[in-house]
Amino acid sequence: RKEVEQDPGPFNVPEGATVAFNCTYSNSASQSFFWYRQDCRKEPKLLMSVYSSGNEDGRFTAQLNRASQYISLLIRDSKLSDSATYLCVVNKGSNYQLIWGAGTKLIIKP
């Protein structure tokens, strides 16, 4: 089993729709969780950090379920500019080291 698993997609979603991604992790000692977005040939950009049960920022909501060891990302009212790869990232339980999921590709269609 991979340490962080994501559905690679692609998710093809019409503009304005709501889309949700899930990510599961295997290390129960992980304490912090992140969603990054990465555009083609660009660097990963931090989208949201999740330290407790969840976090919300505008159209984006992240939720953490420690019992089931998964994190979700919900995007409401999706925009064309939301098209990107979304990477689920989990702290390894020790300093510095992050475990990266393989990413979920999202394509928003007009």
Partner 1 sequence: DTEVTQTPKHLVMGMTNKKSLKCEQHMGHRAMYWYKQKAKKPPELMFVYSYEKLSINESVPSRFSPECPNSSLLNLHLHALQPEDSALYLCASSQASGPYNEQFFGPGTRLTVL
HEC string for the chain: CCCEEECCCCEEEECCCCEEEEEEECCCCCCCEEEEEECCCCCEEEEEEECCCEEEECCEEEEEECCCCEEEEEECCCCHHHCEEEEEEEECCCCCCEEECCCEEEEEEC
Is 72 a binding residue for partner 1 by CB under 8 A? The answer is no
Is 21 a binding residue for partner 1 by CB under 8 A? The answer is no
Is 54 a binding residue for partner 1 by CB under 8 A? The answer is no
Is 35 a binding residue for partner 1 by CB under 8 A? The answer is no
Among 12, 26, 49, 53, binds partner 1 (CB under 8 A): 49
Residues at the site binding partner 1, with contacts judged by CB under 8 A: 30-32, 34, 41-46, 49, 51, 87, 91, 93-98, 100-103
